[in-house]
Amino acid sequence: MEEKPVITVTSPLLPDLEELDALLKDIWQRRWITNNGHYHKELERALCDYLKVPYISLFTNGTLPLITALQALRITGEVITTPYSFVATTHSLWWNGIKPVFVDIDPETGNLDPGKIEAAITPKTTAIMPVHVYGKPCDTEAIQAIADKYGLKVIYDAAHAFGVEVGGKSILEAGDLSTLSFHATKVYNTVEGGALVMHDEKTKQRIDYLKNFGFAGETEVVAPGINSKMDEVRSAYGLLNLRQADRAIAARRRVAVRYREALRDVPGIRYFEDMPGVKHNYSYFPVFVDAAEYGMTRDELYFKLKERNILGRRYFYPLISTFSTYRGLPSAAPSNLPNAHRMADEVICLPMHHLLTDEDVERIIDTIINP
Ligand SMILES: *Cc1c(COP(=O)(O)O)cnc(C)c1O
């Protein structure tokens, strides 16, 4: 049989090279290549408009905003978080000397189950760090109600939630701070990059200091900041990519619609539907394989796809709570996290990006229906 071309799980959104070249020439002329330059300011403004948020601070990746958010809010002690995420979520706590406390997820959404948060609160708890997994909004109202009751801060890892809105409002407005990742693999990228979204100018000021060593002026250092500034080249690249973000998301949506239509009646294959009132970004298309019903385990299907040059990914397997750094924590016990374990054991993220052709999508569907 003829070898079929490789279909990757994602493909980076790339700006037009000639347009980028024009902006690079401008940067060369300005001879100002980092430290809150022209394109850095332009991109912050453009992102505020696009995302419908009041204040944003650009970062050099999506992990340092998490670490910096915890610094900015002076979070210590214990933080309640989810094991079902990319490992950077929990690592940001570790880098701040904070003890992660894992709480199980809601099997219907993959997000932190608000009904299980209160039981995990101790006198040392200072914050909750949920993740809008796959860009699906968390139950932000329920989480905020708990945070208010116990005086806790809420920092959302919104790395997957670029452009996601609930009832016409950005999901990034929930909680005290939200972080974004603009990594190459995300819906919107600046090659590497990220951001923090905040509610007020004073917080933006403080975070802008923290990402620049704590400098509040030429000779004044007000905090033990880090270096996490985004440079002019990536800011300009990001400005161009922002112009195509809507088109890329629309292309992804078409793929999601086709996947759902084709997989609707396949026994043992479950996926998420769109949520009413939510503007989704179609960043991922996870399917969950019930081995007994489907007749094949997740891994069997995963490797079958791979054999046919279809490279899905098992996001998020293994769970963060199973890695050596964290598995000794009492909250990491599998008996505490049954829903997260089940989801991690059943998930495959199917290829999802703006360049998938109809032929690619049909090949993927056919492999799932006739494995
Ligand atoms: C990608 C991602 C991050 C980290 O972002 P980087 O830009 O790769 O540093 C953090 N959290 C989640 C949930 C992610 O998917």
> Mutation test of ligand 1: which of 60, 157, 181 has the most ligand atoms closer than 8 Å to its C-beta?
181
- Please identify, by atom number, the ligand 1 atom nearest to the C-alpha of residue 133: 13
Half-sphere exposure of 361 (CA within 13 A, CB side): 21
DSSP assignment of 227-267: B-PPPHHHHHHHHHHHHTHHHHHHHHHHHHHHHHHHHTT-T
Q: Are 100 and 222 in contact (CB under 8 A)?
A: no
For 180-207, how does the pLDDT look when each residue is reduced to its tens digit (9 = 90+)? 999 999 999 999 999 999 999 999 999 9
Q: Is residue 60 pLDDT above 70, yes or no? A: yes
CA 9 to chain centre: 15
Q: In the predicted model, what is the mean pLDDT of the chain?
A: 97
The Å distance, Cα 261 to ligand 1 centre, comes to 30
105, 156, 157, 352, best to mutate for ligand 1 pocket (most atoms within 8 Å of CB) = 157
Question: Given the DSSP bridges, would you call strands 269-271 and 169-170 parallel, antiparallel or unpaired?
Answer: unpaired
Atom of ligand 1 nearest to the CA of 160: 15
- Say whether pLDDT at 34 is over 70: yes
Cβ(153) to ligand 1 under 6 A?
no
Which phi and psi (to 5°) does residue 114 adopt?
-60, -30
Mutational test site, ligand 1, from 89, 180, 226, 316, max ligand atoms within 8 Å of CB? 89
Average confidence (pLDDT) over 36-60: 98
pLDDT tens per residue, range 233-274: 999 999 999 999 999 999 999 999 999 999 999 999 999 999
Q: What is residue 32's predicted lDDT score, i.e. its pLDDT?
A: 98
- For the cut 70, the answer to whether the pLDDT of residue 1 exceeds it is no
Q: What is the CA radius of gyration of the chain?
A: 21
pLDDT at position 348: 98
Q: Residue 200, Cβ neighbours under 10 Å: how many?
A: 10
DSSP state, 308?
A: T
Any ligand 1 atom below 6 A from CB of 85: yes
User: What integer is the mean pLDDT of 9-24?
Assistant: 98
Centroid of ligand 1 to alpha carbon of 181 (angstroms) = 5
- Using an 8 Å Cβ cutoff, are 185 and 10 in contact? yes
pLDDT-derived band at 168 (thresholds 50, 70, 90) equals very high
User: Quick one: pLDDT at residue 262?
Assistant: 98
pLDDT in tens, 207-223: 999 999 999 999 999 99
**Would you say the CB of residue 158 lies under 6 angstroms from ligand 1?**
no
pLDDT per residue over 74-107, tens digit each?
Answer: 999 999 999 999 999 999 999 999 999 999 999 9
Determine if ligand 1 sits within 6 Å of the CB of residue 86: yes
CATH of the structural domain 17-103+112-242, one choice from 2.40.10.220, 3.40.640.10, 3.40.1390.10, 3.40.50.300: 3.40.640.10
For ligand 1, the distance from its centroid to the CA atom of residue 267, given in whole angstroms, is 33
CB distance 155 to ligand 1 below 6 Å? no
Q: For domain 245-369, which architecture applies?
A: Alpha-Beta Complex (3.90)
- Pinpoint the residues of the chain covered by CATH 3.40.640.10: 17-103+112-242
Atom of ligand 1 nearest to the CA of 193: 7
Of residues 2 and 293, the one with the higher pLDDT is: 293
Q: What is the pLDDT of residue 4?
A: 87
Q: How confident is the model at residue 3 (pLDDT cuts 50, 70, 90)?
A: confident
pLDDT for the residue 54: 98
| Range(s) of the chain covered by CATH 3.90.1150.10 | 245-369
What is the H or E stretch that residue 185 is in?
none
pTM score, whole prediction: 0.98
